[in-house]
């Protein structure tokens, strides 16, 4: 019990450092890991080695995946690929189903493009559609923001889910089908809530005359297909291993997240055009590297913290005598932990990494199912997004929504979405999926 108490105190210290004292997650995770290791009897040399080992093993492939995912998102956002995907989905579902359209757009665009960037990229589309259709801008904005959050928490190659896969040692291809099912259920629950509360979400679009807007780039010919191929092909390739298990060098190659993402990037390259191809590609690499560097480092330090938890054997010793009857709680507890971490810290990524670090020893020892645990952590990480989240304030400013109204709409919506996803994870467990 002493070890458990030390672990709880270190987690409380981590949360307080990030939320109260505004310490950056990188030093907060490292210092928390150091204190945990030393307090449980480890030496400075041993704990340092544990931290470095966790950092290195987490980033040995995930760093490149995050980079290529960010690069793909940059290319799609800057060349008009993201706009083409959005326009195509709106045409597919029609004006009457715009909330559904925005949810689908957010889910797809949110996979390769960072959440804040994706929302700002699609903001002119939201405002224009609200004026033309008569739909509340808040309804459309919430539909988009909700699905962007779901993609951010559940669908690789976004950094958080990749970190969960690395920490739990789960095959990304095996993780995707389960997480997609949970994500769709979470979004469906959110859309139902939005529809039931649409009268209280009435709001007209504010003028964006003072905001800088960029003219949409029109893609012609075969280039109209490339954004969809570049986005969806990597997801399919990473899932191939689950569909066709066995030793096959070709399948081993294409299911690897690094090569799957690189193939997606290759299909996006014709979007750049021939005129300044080399210079443009170099610029996108530079921008993507700058944007992804801090995410990669946070992911690595999360792995370092998780390695210390594994090496202390605290979690394993607590549940060493648990039988299969514990499994249902093994789905619920990771969900509740990540739900709490997101609500308290305001960071989905920190929540995913911290919860996966705690659950990893139980997955490694076979107490918890790896895929369902990963899905439960992702669903819980949707949490309650409120005033401690940077996206909450971005949404408030661009739409001119009051804080009380946003707490009653966006914050409540994220809780509904998280619970919907969590219930689907529980159902999958009961169905022995």
Quick: pLDDT tens for 205-226: 554 444 444 555 689 899 999 9
Instruction: In whole angstroms, give the CA distance from residue 378 to residue 417.
Output: 11
Instruction: In whole angstroms, give the CA distance from residue 103 to residue 287.
Output: 27
Quick: pLDDT tens for 348-366: 998 999 999 999 988 888 8
Task: Report if pTM > 0.85.
Answer: yes
Q: What is the average pLDDT value for the chain, to the nearest integer?
A: 89
Quick: pLDDT tens for 227-284: 999 999 998 998 887 777 778 899 999 989 999 999 999 999 999 988 899 999 999 9
Instruction: In whole angstroms, give the CA distance from residue 271 to residue 224.
Output: 9
Dihedral, 90, 92, 97, 101 alpha carbons, nearest 10: -50
Chain center to CA of 110: 8
pLDDT at 215: 58
Q: Which of 30-39, 51-60, 98-107, 326-335 has the lowest mean pLDDT?
A: 326-335
How far is the CA of 55 from the CAs of 39, 115, 138, 373, in angstroms? 20, 25, 41, 22
CB-based contacts of 193, cutoff 8 Å, min separation 6: 412, 413, 416
């Amino acid at each position: 019990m002493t070890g458990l108490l030390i672990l709880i105190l270190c987690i409380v210290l981590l949360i307080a450092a990030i939320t109260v004292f505004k310490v950056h997650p990188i030093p907060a995770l490292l210092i928390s890991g150091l204190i945990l290791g030393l307090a449980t009897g480890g030496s400075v040399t041993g704990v340092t080695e544990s931290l470095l080992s966790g950092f290195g093993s987490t980033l040995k492939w995930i760093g490149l995946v995050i980079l290529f995912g960010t690069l793909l998102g940059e290319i799609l956002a800057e060349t008009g690929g993201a706009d083409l995907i959005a326009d195509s989905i709106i045409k597919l579902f029609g004006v009457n189903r715009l909330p559904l359209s925005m949810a689908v757009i957010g889910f797809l665009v949110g996979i390769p493009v960072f959440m804040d960037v994706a929302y700002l990229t699609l903001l002119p589309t939201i405002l224009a559609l609200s004026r033309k259709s008569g739909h509340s801008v808040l309804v459309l904005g919430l539909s988009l923001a909700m699905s962007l959050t779901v993609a951010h928490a559940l669908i690789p190659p976004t950094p958080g889910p990749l970190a969960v896969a690395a920490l739990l040692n789960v095959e990304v291809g095996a993780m995707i089908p389960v997480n997609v099912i949970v994500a769709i259920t979470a979004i469906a629950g959110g859309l139902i809530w939005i529809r039931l509360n649409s009268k209280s979400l009435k709001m007209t679009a504010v003028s964006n005359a003072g905001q800088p807007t960029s003219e949409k780039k029109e893609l012609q010919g075969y280039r109209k297909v490339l954004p969809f191929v570049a986005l969806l092909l990597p997801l399919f390739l990473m899932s191939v291993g689950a569909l066709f298990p066995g030793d096959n060098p070709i399948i081993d190659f294409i299911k690897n997240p690094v090569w799957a993402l690189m193939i997606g990037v290759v299909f996006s390259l014709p979007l750049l055009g021939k005129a300044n191809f080399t210079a443009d590609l170099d610029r996108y690499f530079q921008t993507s590297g700058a944007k992804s560097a801090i995410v990669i480092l946070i992911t690595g330090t999360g792995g370092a913290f998780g390695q210390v938890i594994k090496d202390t054997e605290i979690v394993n010793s607590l549940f060493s005598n648990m039988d299969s009857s514990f499994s249902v709680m093994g789905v619920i507890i990771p969900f509740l932990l990540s739900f709490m971490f997101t609500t308290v810290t305001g960071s989905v990524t920190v929540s995913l990494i911290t919860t996966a670090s705690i659950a990893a020893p139980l997955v490694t020892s076979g107490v918890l199912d790896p895929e369902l645990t990963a899905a439960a952590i992702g669903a819980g990480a949707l949490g309650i997004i409120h005033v401690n989240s940077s996206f909450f304030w971005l949404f408030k400013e661009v739409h001119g929504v009051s804080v009380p109204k946003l707490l009653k709409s966006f914050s409540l919506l994220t809780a509904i979405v998280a619970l919907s996803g969590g219930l689907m994870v529980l159902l999958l467990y009961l169905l022995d999926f």
